[in-house]
């Protein structure tokens, strides 16, 4: 009886000892997250880091979940992430649970593989993604130190992404434009995510954009800058103009001229001189049907004195079967209509559908809607 009582007391004492030890570990972890200067890049002000709003965008911004890296369907080197962060639950499991959770270390965040490899402190097939003293290292460090919490199911949803300003004209000598990216959430909050967005632009000959969202002029013209954050995109138009530009009114011959001249005036570009008959004939044939006119067709057009001969030529080209064939080929190439993507039979059927849509003059909005909905 006495031995049983002593055994129970020992079990109680041992259980209390273990419980105190666990509390001590949790307390030390909390102290590490809030007070310890373990990491040289740890910021002084502690804020709760969001896995959905902070960590997933970092993985996207630094290319970790791109199709060329861990965002492939099978991952890379045993580490798989969802492409561009479309599945945060998968990403959380991969970061914290796969391979016995060895990618993060809650007690010593700076020893986490995700930090050591991405900051270049350990060999990494993807190379160094950010500096140990960068904002992205800090956010990942804090998230791990705070317990590596998954808030993807309870965090507010991103409802709108916008770039400020979304349209701007810069006149020399001003050549730089810092952009600001704002995220609007379902709870009504607005947050500056300029340093978490991923940037690209459509014409690298006109300007370049820094990872921090600053657009720098390289040449005269217009660029569209795109910011990506949490699978949403926002676009801004930046025009680099010339000082002292004066627009000289140009006669408009049709509705298209009205919009073209308005755009040229916005871009501060003078329109070219009216093309001669030889240039017009060559351009019209190549653009409309992808071939040059025959000698007979060229001579017939050049000797024609009808003031409406250009309009008549365009109408005639649009009615030719070569127009349908040429533009069906261009659209098929643009839409990936080949056996690599849709198979041999699928490519034939897809191409025929595209050709029939052009032949019937299907409006472009219905053309796009039919592709997206397979209607």
Judge whether residue 207 has pLDDT over 50.
yes
Q: What's the CA gap between 130 and 34, in Å, rounded?
A: 23
Q: What's the CA gap between 70 and 129, in Å, rounded?
A: 13
Could you read off the pLDDT of 45-91 as tens digits, one per residue? 458 899 999 999 999 998 898 888 998 888 888 889 999 888 999 99
Q: What's the CA gap between 59 and 229, in Å, rounded?
A: 11
Give me the pLDDT at residue 161, please. Answer: 96
CATH class, domain 158-241, is: mainly beta
- For the chain, the distance separating the N- and C-terminal CA atoms, rounded to the nearest angstrom, is 82
Pairing assessment for the beta strands 167-171 and 232-241 based on DSSP bridges: parallel
Give me the pLDDT at residue 46, please. Answer: 53
Count of beta carbons in the 10 Å neighbourhood of residue 251: 7
Q: What's the CA gap between 316 and 310, in Å, rounded?
A: 10
Average pLDDT over residues 132-138: 91
Residue 227: pLDDT band (50, 70, 90) is very high
C-alpha distances (whole Å) from 183 to each of 53, 227, 290 are 10, 11, 45
Per the confidence metrics, is the pTM higher than 0.75? Answer: no
Could you read off the pLDDT of 5-20 as tens digits, one per residue? 444 443 434 343 333 3
Range(s) for CATH 2.60.40.10 in the chain?
A: 158-241
What kind and span of H or E run contains 141? Answer: helix 135-145
Could you read off the pLDDT of 313-351 as tens digits, one per residue? 999 999 999 999 999 999 999 888 877 777 888 889 999
Contact between 107 and 38 under an 8 Å Cβ cutoff? The reply is: no
Q: Give the HSE-up count for residue 205: Cα atoms under 13 Å, Cβ half-sphere.
A: 2
**Look-up: residue for tokens 């993507």?**
341
Least confidently predicted of 74-88, 226-240, 352-366: 74-88
**CA-angle at 221, arms to 254 and 209, nearest 5°:** 140
Q: What's the CA gap between 153 and 89, in Å, rounded?
A: 9
Could you read off the pLDDT of 175-201 as tens digits, one per residue? 899 999 999 999 999 999 999 999 999
- CA pseudo-torsion sign 341, 343, 346, 350: positive
Average pLDDT over residues 165-173: 88
- The residues with which 209 forms a beta bridge, in sequence order, are 215
């Amino acid at each position: 009886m006495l031995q049983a009582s002593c055994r129970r007391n020992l079990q109680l004492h041992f259980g209390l000892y273990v419980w105190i030890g666990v509390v001590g570990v949790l307390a030390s972890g909390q102290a590490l997250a809030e007070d310890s200067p373990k990491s040289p890049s740890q910021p002084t002000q502690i804020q709760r880091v969001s896995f959905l709003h902070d960590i997933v965008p970092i993985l996207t911004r630094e290319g970790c979940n791109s199709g060329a890296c861990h965002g492939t369907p099978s991952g890379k080197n045993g580490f798989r992430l969802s492409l561009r962060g479309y599945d945060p639950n998968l990403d959380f499991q991969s970061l914290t649970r796969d391979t016995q959770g060895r990618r993060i270390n809650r007690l010593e965040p700076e020893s986490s593989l995700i930090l050591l490899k991405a900051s270049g402190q350990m060999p990494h097939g993807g190379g160094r993604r950010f500096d140990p003293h960068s904002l992205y290292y800090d956010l990942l460090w804090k998230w791990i130190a705070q317990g590596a919490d998954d808030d993807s199911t309870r965090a507010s949803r991103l409802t709108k992404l916008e770039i400020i300003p979304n349209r701007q004209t810069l006149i020399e000598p001003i050549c730089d434009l810092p952009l600001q990216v704002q995220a609007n959430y379902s709870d009504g909050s607005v947050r500056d995510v300029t340093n978490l967005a991923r940037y690209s632009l459509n014409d690298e000959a006109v300007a370049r954009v820094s990872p921090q969202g600053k657009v720098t002029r390289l040449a005269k013209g217009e660029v569209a800058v795109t910011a990506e954050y949490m699978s949403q995109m926002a676009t801004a138009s930046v025009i680099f103009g010339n000082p002292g530009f004066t627009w000289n009114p140009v006669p408009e011959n049709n509705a298209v001229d009205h919009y073209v001249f308005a755009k040229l005036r916005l871009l501060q570009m003078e329109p070219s001189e009216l093309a001669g008959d030889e240039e017009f004939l060559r351009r019209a044939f190549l653009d409309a049907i992808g071939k040059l006119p025959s000698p007979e067709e060229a001579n017939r057009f050049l000797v024609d004195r009808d003031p409406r001969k250009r309009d008549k030529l365009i109408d005639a080209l649009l009615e030719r079967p070569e127009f349908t064939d040429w533009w069906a080929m261009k659209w098929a190439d643009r839409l990936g209509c080949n056996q690599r993507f849709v198979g041999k039979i699928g490519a034939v059927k897809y191409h025929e559908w595209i050709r029939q849509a052009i032949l019937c003059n299907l409006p472009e909005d219905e053309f796009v809607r039919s592709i997206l909905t397979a209607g």
